[in-house]
A and B are shown apart, each in its own frame.
Chain A
């Protein structure tokens, strides 16, 4: 039985962990890239209104954003300073919202579609006329769950 005796005190060879930092860094970079890629470049100036009774939006993949505000300063020469609507990366008219919502909806999984939420990110100085138009368009598009995006008020 001497063959199997542990008298020799054979030690477990140490695991080489020198590549672990590289693995983690690769993962880190991946996450940094992915999170920055989801952002759209804002073409409208947007300061969120303030409120206190806020609810968190769950499941980011189910949320569609509509930005409403005045064009940013460098775009103002081209677009004027009227309040505009931004869908994804481009300015849009109210009439385009319905198509946009339908398109976003069809890109979701079917079981997720009823939970689709539209977050209206509007500048606090926007006139309600535009918001009302957006809301009517959303109703027509059957996107009934909405959220008025707002920042937490501190006072």
Chain B
């Protein structure tokens, strides 16, 4: 009875490891919720004293109008298309593999790594939408356009460098971008809202 038994001290050396594990877990999870999205660049604002009708003339063959109406239906060129067909249509338009005279003209451009290339550098995809278009429909179209560009770029990167576009170094990416320049124009909102 009288003899006090000593409890052996608990070995606490592993609690540091446990704490470290927690720490690393939190570090990873907090950096994982980084925002993802479709990156775009807006055109700079039109000076107020300048009228809009100074728009650059674009040859009809170089222009592809993608229109989304308020019922989320898509008009590509002058045809009604489904969202699933849109990517191939756009790819066909950007690439113009058979030099169709209704598709963008191919201009010879000197590209590093590739040499002389026929590039449809004057093409423009004009994206127009209605005020009533649903955001998801708009994102779908933006996504398909991005997908079309990405696929074309990946194809050419794989053929030349054996890697996908994202894995190329900066110089190579620039060269590929020169072959398939991304040209999406979002129309100035027309007479919406009653301003001006």
Q: Which residues of A contact B (CB under 8 A)?
A: 17-18, 20-21, 24-25, 27-28, 31-32, 35, 49-57, 60, 63, 65, 117, 119-129, 131-133, 135-136, 138-140, 142-152
Chain A residues with CB under 8 Å of B30's CB are 31, 35
CA distance A43 to B136 in the complex (A): 20
CA distance A51 to B189 in the complex (A): 24
Q: Could you pull out 5 A-B pairs where Cβ atoms are within 8 angstroms?
A: A55-B38, A55-B39, A128-B133, A135-B186, A146-B41
Apart from the given pairs A17-B13, A49-B135, A52-B143, 11 other A-B contacts in the complex at a CB distance below 8 Å: A18-B12, A20-B16, A25-B19, A31-B30, A55-B39, A57-B36, A128-B68, A142-B45, A143-B42, A147-B40, A149-B35
Q: Among the interface residues B42, B43, B192, which one has the most CB atoms of the partner chain A within 10 A?
A: B42
Contact check, B23 vs A51: say whether CB atoms are below 8 A apart. no
A67–chain B nearest beta-carbon distance, Å: 12
B26 at the interface (CB under 8 A from A): yes
Chain B residues with CB under 8 Å of A133's CB are 193
Query: Among residues 118 to 165 in chain B, which have CB atoms less than 8 Å away from a CB atom of chain A?
Result: 129-136, 138-140, 142-143, 146-147, 150
Chain B residues with CB under 8 Å of A65's CB are 35
Q: Among the interface residues B22, B23, B43, which one has the most CB atoms of the partner chain A within 10 A?
A: B23
Residue of B with least CB distance to A137: B45
Please report whether the interface of chain A is mostly helix, strand, loop or mixed according to DSSP.
mixed
Among B23, B45, B131, contact of A28 (Cβ-Cβ < 8 Å)? B23
CA distance A76 to B22 in the complex (A): 39
B115 at the interface (CB under 8 A from A): no
Contact check, B136 vs A124: say whether CB atoms are below 8 A apart. yes
For chain B, the count of residues having a C-beta within 8 Å of the partner chain is 45
A58–chain B nearest beta-carbon distance, Å: 8
Q: Among the interface residues B19, B41, B43, which one has the most CB atoms of the partner chain A within 10 A?
A: B19
CA distance A132 to B37 in the complex (A): 17
Known: A53-B147, A57-B36, A133-B193. A21 touches B42 (CB 8 A): no
Among A124, A132, A145, contact of B134 (Cβ-Cβ < 8 Å)? A124
Chain B residues with CB under 8 Å of A122's CB are 135
Contact check, B38 vs A144: say whether CB atoms are below 8 A apart. no
B172–chain A nearest beta-carbon distance, Å: 18
CA distance A135 to B187 in the complex (A): 12
Chain A residues with CB under 8 Å of B36's CB are 54-57, 149-152
Contact check, A147 vs B189: say whether CB atoms are below 8 A apart. no
Contact check, A119 vs B35: say whether CB atoms are below 8 A apart. yes
Residue of A with least CB distance to B148: A53
